[in-house]
A and B are shown apart, each in its own frame.
Chain A
């Protein structure tokens, strides 16, 4: 039956796949996104052109002074590069360290596989800040490692582990590893296992089957994990604040200090928009080539 032959009442009513219904259903989420994400970013964007007068005071007279300062001051560029470097190193370590547990969970014949997945999620039940603080009691001078190393006679004086870049990366790994493992695991779960068997039956060794079949097919998950870990690490603020010294600060700490310490909101807004733009670009490039579906799958477990 064509549309023009439908009775008048049916034409007025809504079908299940009516675009109007789709818009209606998506409207609350879209409204929330506009009010709590798009608008604040726009406001922040406008704020970058405000004039800073003194701590806590700014004027609505528009200026490009904040952007000029950002583009001409190497202090900001140095921290931006450092943040990208720490983000990349963290993401790469997450990938190397995270692949093995993900592969193990996928390949194991253990019947209670859900238990292994649960172990991955358990850390999320404890506050992120408390998890980060726990490293102080492990890496500190009076912490677990130093105390036992000294008791065993391995070292004479405590090692400086806390308040270093290594401690910051360690804290970030602790926080991000589950994201990486879940992404890789979900990708592995999507592989048709008969492909591996086929490769084996055609003469591949286990290592070759892994290299030629399993690894390439799990790359989308690995890439999603890399992107997620990089973006989260590069945008982190609490971990470097708690586990690092001033020198180990990341760009997020610069933003915090500018807004909360110097009370210079226009400059803080400028730095925030810069970080948003850079991390957003990374996510956009990833989406262009890989699509968002892999991340959604990974986050969903």
Chain B
């Protein structure tokens, strides 16, 4: 029979009172029990206690506000489980934090799709989701799930939304016709020297460097030509932004007039009335975002939250709030006109019109290219 700590201590007390134990031995055993309970409790309680909150880390700004308003708050009202939120500017931050934390400290991450999924897998930070607990996954586009399943047959993440990193421009300075005609070349147009911005991210820099040098970003033949293009933009740029909030600030204040930009953030600026246009040049960088469950998370609660977020009504509300199309399959679910009008929206549900990064190809070069971009950014 397994005795509880309380029963053991009660028996100890009885033996002491009946004279079986002397006072010194009784106090010694009680102290040892208290010490072991004290050591156990911080972790033991965490594991045994009922989960009262789930940790979520995302990109902040308008994207996370939409999630909070349309998904997290209704979820908390329904289940009494609160969603504790954190934000990051670059996803490598959260990988570094998760690596240095105890499993379970960070739980769900609004992750940047398959390229980053590989990094989590390599770092041993992924979990295994029980898909049976997420019935709403049936509505998610198969074309979005497949790339993840190729990396890990048992998923640790569920695709949630997608978008593009196209080109945003100030319409009071650059006409839509000029933007359409120049495309990616706008980012290296000397006419806008000192008013050009860019995302401080190796993937975006190399992607647009490849487009600028006429190469396929998923099969770069001449990387030196790409770096030359990256340097060209660096010398013309005013600032490489590090977060969506900074991008919106730079564009709305007129500090920069052209930059690569996240489609949803530009849509948010347009809704706020700023004179900002947006184009996806040929080969524009498309990406998908997923809800990634990290190792050590309370799986049942995380799966329940993800299922709630994938509910058609919730997903559409979040999508409209953050201005990114949802991962819901438009051939299975009737989406709103607002979503259908969003940049990058794919009505076929097959994602064939969008160019995503090949995760294997990019993972092979990631280390060297990240290092090189860091150096170029600092003037090398």
Binding site for B on A (CB under 8 A): 52, 54-57, 75, 79, 140-142, 160, 163, 245-247, 249, 253-254, 257-264
CB of B17, distance to nearest CB on chain A (Å): 37
A141 near B255 with CB under 8 A, answer: yes
Complexed CA–CA distance, A160 and B255 (Å): 11
Shortest Cβ distance from B239 into A: residue: A163
Contact A263/B255 with A75-B380, A79-B378, A160-B194 known, Cβ cut-off 8 Å = no
0/1 string, B244-267, CB within 8 A of A gives 1: 000000000111000000000000
Residues of chain B with a CB closer than 8 A to A56's CB: 92, 95-96, 99, 119, 122-123
A263 near B253 with CB under 8 A, answer: no
Complexed CA–CA distance, A258 and B378 (Å): 13
Complexed CA–CA distance, A257 and B375 (Å): 10
A55 near B92 with CB under 8 A, answer: yes
B96 near A260 with CB under 8 A, answer: yes
Shortest Cβ distance from B369 into A: residue: A262
From the candidates A52, A142, A160, name the one contacting B253 in the complex (CB within 8 A): A142
Contact A263/B95 with A55-B367, A56-B122, A246-B240 known, Cβ cut-off 8 Å = yes
Complexed CA–CA distance, A55 and B93 (Å): 12
A54 near B93 with CB under 8 A, answer: no
Chain B interface bracket (under 10, 10 to 19, 20 to 34, 35 or more): 20 to 34
Shortest Cβ distance from B377 into A: residue: A246
A246-B377, A247-B378, A262-B367 known; 12 other A-B pairs, CB under 8 Å?
A55-B366, A56-B96, A56-B123, A75-B380, A141-B253, A141-B255, A245-B238, A245-B239, A257-B374, A258-B374, A260-B96, A262-B370
A263 near B234 with CB under 8 A, answer: no
CB of B251, distance to nearest CB on chain A (Å): 12
CB of A144, distance to nearest CB on chain B (Å): 13
> Does B153 count as interface, using CB distance less than 8 angstroms?
no
CB of A289, distance to nearest CB on chain B (Å): 35
> Does B65 count as interface, using CB distance less than 8 angstroms?
no
Most buried by A among B200, B234, B255: B255
Complexed CA–CA distance, A10 and B379 (Å): 71
0/1 string, B86-97, CB within 8 A of A gives 1: 000010110110
Q: Which of B71-98 contact A (CB under 8 A)?
A: 90, 92-93, 95-96
Complexed CA–CA distance, A262 and B373 (Å): 10
> Does B371 count as interface, using CB distance less than 8 angstroms?
yes
CB of B199, distance to nearest CB on chain A (Å): 13
From the candidates B194, B367, B378, name the one contacting A54 in the complex (CB within 8 A): B367
Contact A259/B96 with A57-B122, A75-B375 known, Cβ cut-off 8 Å = yes
Residues of chain B with a CB closer than 8 A to A263's CB: 92, 95-96, 119, 123
Residues of chain A with a CB closer than 8 A to B363's CB: 54
Q: Which of B332-377 contact A (CB under 8 A)?
A: 363, 366-367, 370-371, 374-375, 377
Complexed CA–CA distance, A249 and B194 (Å): 19
Shortest Cβ distance from A74 into B: residue: B380
Complexed CA–CA distance, A258 and B372 (Å): 11
Shortest Cβ distance from B120 into A: residue: A56
Residues of chain A with a CB closer than 8 A to B119's CB: 55-56, 263
Residues of chain B with a CB closer than 8 A to A249's CB: 377-378
A246 near B379 with CB under 8 A, answer: yes
Shortest Cβ distance from A245 into B: residue: B239
